[in-house]
Structure 1
Amino acid sequence: MIDVDLLPDGIVIADAEGLVTRVNRAASRILRRRPDELIGSHVATALPLDDLAGNSWFACLRPYDGLATRTRLSEGSWHTPDGVELLVTATLVREAPLEPVKQLVVSLRTAKARAHRDRVRSDLVATVAHELRSPLTGVKGFTATLLNNWDRFSDEQRQLMLETVDSDADRLSRLITDLLDAARIDSGRLTLRPQPLDLVEATQRVLENISAGSGLSLDVTAEEDLPRVWVDADRYAQVVTNLVENAQRHGMGVREIVLRRPTRFPDGVALEVFDFGPGIPEEIRTRVFTRFWRSGDRGGTGLGLYVVKGVVDAHGGEIEVCDGDRGGACVGVWFPENLPEVLREIPRP
């Protein structure tokens, strides 16, 4: 039998009368009382736990005289008298179903890990809200300025403001699309509408849209005689946009964008985006594709590369991060020339 003193969670054991018979070291530390102060006392006294409304754990759950079919008390959040949050669960030991409780085994653990996860989620919500508010502020500011001072601006100034509004609206739309697609990828509901596509033309068209909104000069370098590839045109545009924005934000700018037929995967086309940054350490290259993963202080939702990987995987393609041949990082995605048979059989709207 395992020694309860070796367990990381606090364990308090009470007999059929509710008197504490055993307390392990972790429980003594969590409750800040010596074992000899707890042993022999009633479990309601040994565990003076309340919820935020002041209701007692023992009075609410009634482990000894509650529902006779119970064998376990679900984990819940309770607080010690000095305000420490604990996650508490218990096992009700019975000699037979519907028999009285012979022994009560209570497990305690601090809620620090859960509180940390909650803070991380709150930070992510705040980050996403900030990313959404930034373009929305631009849209609101320029439209209000135009409405209140239309006659004061020349046609060229109005054109510039409206182009900025259009660019911010596109950015807002992309952020919302990434959030929705991340949820679809998680649930396995990402849909595709594949068609034969010239990736050179499609890539250049996306780059022109990005350049028009940002003032950048972006072009694609492509090998000759690349085949058409079966991809979803809208999803492919999303991949190109996210890779370029990732290089701009985290890689100190785009060095080169290349389309080629790779030696390792000759039956398809690879899109490679090189940047000017310091590169991505090899030990974290697989982590950059996880949801909400961020590095450094350049912001972002942490969804761009996660969505890219989800889209590429849905096409039966490959994605990888490597060092650029002239420094920096290279994020490459490969799409097969034809959809795999297993993907062809999936009904698509």
Structure 2
Amino acid sequence: MLSEVAEVMSEEQFASSSPIGNGSKRGQLRSITRLYQTVFRWFQANTFSPKFLASPWSHPVFGYLVAMLGQALAVTAIILIVHGLPSFRFPEAIVLLIVLLVAFGWGAGPSLVATLVGAVLLTFLFVPPIFSFAVAQVVDLFGVILYLVVGLTLSILASQTQQARYRLEVLSTRLETIFEAITDAVFILDAQGAPPRVNAAARALLGLAEDEQIDTTRAPSFDLLDELGRPLPYEAWPEMRLRRGETLQGEATADVLFRARDGRTRYLSVSGAPVYNAYGAMHGAVLVCHDVTERKRAEEHAQFLAEISTFLASSLDYTATLATIARLMVPRLADWFAVDLVDAEGHFELIEVEHTDQSKVQWAKELRKNYPIDPNALTGAPNVVRTGKAELYTDISDEMLVAMARNTEELALARQVGYTSVMIIPLVARSEILGVITFVSAESGRKYYSPDLALAEEVGRRAGVAIDNARLYREVQQARDQLDIILQSVADGIVVYDTNNRIIYANDVAAGMTGFTSVQDMMNTPSTAIVDKFALINEWKHPFPLSQLPHRRVLAGEREAQAIIGYHDTTTEQPERWSLTKSRPVIDEYGKVVFAITIIHDMTARILAEQRKDEFISMASHELKTPVTSLKGFTHVLQRRLTKLGDEQGLHFLARMDAQLDRLTKLISDLLDISRMQVGKLSLDVEAVDVDALVSETVENLQAATSTHRLIMEGRTEAQVLGDKDRLGQVLINLVTNAVKYSPNADRVIVHLSTDEDQQHAVISVQDFGIGIAETHHQNIFEQFYQVTDSEGKTYPGLGIGLHISQEIVKRHHGRMWVESRKGEGATFYVALPLINGKVTDELPDARS
């Protein structure tokens, strides 16, 4: 072909070089080339390799050689036949036979060549004149043409038939490949009862070898059951329904349980349809089995786990719950089911065992008593507990029983049980192994596989969590009962409030203190109703604001709150009672207050005693004031007389007497102030007070009275406060005199003036460099009559009322007083008073009144 193309190209070049007729010659060459290409493609498309020859003899080129050699041999055979049988008149038949054979073997292309070669040879050798291609008679010419027509027709028909056969073989091969590759089991049924044709999936389902066919003369090697596990009548089998002409599609699809003789079970969704011929007669059917085992098992497992979870959540008595779970397992998932819990030493306790035969259950329990689990065993429950991994024994052989048995009697008992398959699952909760659950298949012959193990492990996890929750609940209940016993035995009332101000716990003491006969009655009454039936007062007999109740202050955000509250029931004749109420919050992991715990300590006896004491002190103070005043007057009279007489020694004694009378007068004044405070009658002469001037004047007066210390004044406030100038001066005098008193080895006291960061308060601090105050006393030193108990502090006598009076005066000025000190490092007392341009301005009328 390349040579022909070359010739064509040379001709085109020649034509293009000639100045005359270039266009016509180029067109002729193009037509010849297209004709050649068309003929070549036709021969290529109509030539194929025969299937009956092996490579390389199956190459298409050999078809053309066979066409020519075959016709040569055929003509030779004809010559021999004519020579032997002169009467032979059909030489074309042998040549056409060769044409037909070549057409079947290599296609229309080689057979066309065979036809032409045969025509040439017949014309040359048999048509007169012989050995010439000329045809003398019309009849002979007509015979040659007829031969060519018949040869061409045979070539085309034979070639097309063979090609159709080849295409059918290819299609059949493809269909067979697809048929075998289908993952669903496919059965092609024959209406005449021949063995059905099956694919690989069907053979795997039935357990057949690759070249094995279904033996229709024997009973089926499997059973079909309905969704409830009941045997399906043979007439209702999908195959029989198809043979009756039913179509199994859509809602008519059959769902069956396939159970082989070896115990294998698969859930199948069966569909199919009859196959009819052109005349409407059924000559077979196609049946397709889609394996839905995994889906069915997943649905069953999900439903089963849902039932398990429902029972596990229904009770916190895990013993009863496990008994219910065991009854669910048998016989649904096991023939034997057992639960063993393990203690810290590795010893197993049989909690539950279940079997359909209760006599066997008792037998199993007695067997466990006689043959307890060996904690050191290398396999089984001990190994599961040690490793935390489940064990699956799909097939239990007799050799395994022999290996596990500790003696011949135990081996005989194991054989009596008839183990088929076993699963041992750990009970796990919070990464702790609580025990094991054991699933045993025996008389049912069921085999456990990986999906069963996954289900059992999930049951084990949920059961482990349920057991752990039940244990925790029992421990919490025990702890709660113990705590309740402790709280009920406490002498103080205890009440717990939630964030909605609702009482969620109270002890008997609290119920009794609030007038209830039982805790339940108290908890059933709203806390607001409880408060409303009482008249509440503070220490000064004033109404107690409900917003200042300690538990409400804690729920509002305070870290701790306490108050002394007096109360009496307005609905009864109950006498007035007093209590010290303290509240603290309970905070969750997010720092949010969830409860308020309130402790109510009855102080009625103490308050009544203090009231009697205060009444006595008040009466005594008033009674002492008159004779002290008289003594003071007589002392002054004696001083004037002795001065005239010049009696220095008498004057010295009188001066000492006068100083003691001043101390006694101050003591009586302090006691009277305390009495006034306790009854709420401490009067204040409210006015605008210049802080800097007040402090400067007080420091100057005190400096004149002391020679041991320098009183240093630092800073300025340049501000005013609203208050009683004399009472504020009393506070400052008390702080400075204490600073001098408790710093005997120092020589200075610093009084500092400033305002706070918000410019809302004037801050006065008095700093000494004396013995200091331990931190344990910081809160207590402001209490009435409190004195430091250490040996060094006792060297400075006093009644412990000065700081208490000072703090009460500061409180009544809406201020605050505190101390900063360490033992041996001196002390600094602070007083913060609201400025006159602060919030107190709005309270000016009330303060003055």
**TM-score, normalised to structure 1's length?**
0.52
Cα contact 1:254–1:275 (8 A) shared by 2: no
Map 1:82-231; keep pairs closer than 5 Å.
Answer: 143=636, 146=639, 149-153=642-646, 170-215=662-707, 218-224=710-716, 226-231=718-723
CA contact (8 A) 1:200 1:220 kept: no
- Paired letter, 1:346: D
Q: Distance in 2 between matches of 1:224 and 1:301?
A: 33
Is 1:344 aligned with 2:844?
yes
CA contact (8 A) 2:709 2:740 kept: no
Larger helix proportion of the pair: 2
8 Å Cα contact 2:756-2:762 kept in structure 1: no
Q: CA deviation at 1:311?
A: 0.8
Distance 2:747 2:696 in 1: 14
Partner Cα distance (1:8, 1:223) in 2: 53
CA apart distance, 1:250: 3.4
User: In the TM superposition, what whole-angstrom CA distance separates every residue of 1:7-63 from its partner, at most 9, and x where no partner exists?
Assistant: 799xxxxxxxxxxxxxxxxxxxxxxxxxxxxxxxxxxxxxxxxxxxxxxxxxxxxxx
What's 2:816 paired with?
318
- The Cα shift of 1:202 comes to 1.6
CA drift of 1:175 comes to 2.4
Q: Equivalents in 1 of 2:813, 2:740: separation in Å?
A: 25
Match of 1:293 among 786, 790, 798: 786
Q: 1:257 aligns with which of 750, 757, 763?
A: 750
| Alignment partners' CA distance in 2, 1:330 and 1:310 | 18
Q: Which structure 2 residue ranges, 5 or more long, are not aligned?
A: 1-483, 492-574, 576-604
Q: Is the 8 A contact 2:711 2:748 kept in 1?
A: no
- Decide whether aligned partners of structure 1 residues 261 and 227 sit closer, same or farther in structure 2, where only a CA change above 3 A counts: same
> How far apart are 1:301 and its partner, in Å?
1.7
After superposition, the CA RMSD in angstroms is: 4.6
Q: Distance in 2 between matches of 1:345 and 1:146?
A: 47
> In structure 2, do the counterparts of structure 1 residues 145 and 266 end up closer, same or farther at CA, with 3 Å as the change threshold?
same
Q: 1:140 to 1:216 in 2, by over 3 A?
A: farther
Q: CA deviation at 1:210?
A: 3.0
Give SS of 2:784's match: coil
* Alpha-carbon distance between aligned partners in 2 of 1:189 and 1:145, rounded to the nearest angstrom: 37
- Report how many residues are paired: 235
Calculate percent identity across the aligned residue pairs.
26
Q: Is residue 784 of structure 2 the alignment partner of residue 284 of structure 1?
A: no
For residues 188-241 of structure 1, the C-alpha deviation after alignment (integer angstroms, 9 at most, x for no partner) is 333322222222222232233334444455534132452122221111111011
Matched residues in 1 for 2:815 and 2:490: separation?
Answer: 44
Selected match of 2:806 from 300, 305, 308: 308
Partner of 1:239: 731
Change (3 A) 1:154 1:217: farther
Q: Is the 8 A contact 1:259 1:272 kept in 2?
A: yes
For residue 846 of structure 2, give the secondary structure of its aligned residue in structure 1: coil
Deviation at 1:178, TM superposition (A): 1.7
Bigger relative contact order, structure 1 or 2 (CA pairs below 8 A, ≥6 apart): 1
1:106-156 deviations in Å (ceiling 9; x for gaps):
xxxxxxx99xx99xx79x98xx99xx99xx79969965863663334389x
Q: Which amino acid aligns with 1:276?
A: F
The answer (yes or no) to whether the contact 1:312–1:319 under 8 Å persists in 2 is: yes
Shift of 1:169: 5.4
Contact 2:720–2:835 (Cα < 8 Å) also in 1: yes
The structure having more radius of gyration, on CA atoms, is 2
In 1, distance between residues paired with 2:653 and 2:819?
Answer: 38
**Aligned 8 A contact 1:254 1:274 in 2:** no
- 1:199–1:318 distance in 2 versus 1, CA, 3 Å: same
What letter is aligned with 1:300? G
Pick closer, same or farther for the CA change 1:293–1:256 going to 2, 3 Å.
same
Post-superposition offset of 1:246: 2.0
Task: Tell me the CA shift for residue 183 of structure 1.
Answer: 1.9
Q: Which runs of 5+ in 1 are unaligned?
A: 10-73, 75-112
Counterpart-to-counterpart distance in 2, 1:199 and 1:331 = 17
Match of 2:787, SS?
A: coil
Residue 283 and residue 232 in structure 1: after superposition, are their counterparts in 2 closer, same or farther (change >3 A)?
same
Alignment match of 1:248 (pick from 715, 734, 740): 740
**Corresponding residue of 2:762:** 269
* TM-score, normalised with respect to structure 2: 0.24
| 1:219-268 residue CA offsets vs partner (Å, 9 max, x unmatched) | 34132452122221111111011112222333436732323224455322
Distance 1:162 1:229, change over 3 A: farther
Q: Distance in 2 between matches of 1:303 and 1:250?
A: 16
Q: Structure 1 residues 140, 191: closer, same or farther in 2, change over 3 A?
A: closer
Relative to structure 1, the CA distance from residue 336 to residue 225 in structure 2 (aligned partners, 3 Å threshold; closer, same or farther) is closer
Structure 1 residues 271 and 171 mapped into 2: Cα distance closer, same or farther (>3 Å)?
farther
**Aligned partners of 1:142 and 1:161 also within 8 Å:** no
Shift of 1:342: 6.5
Give yes or no for contact 1:196–1:231 (8 Å, CA) kept in 2. yes
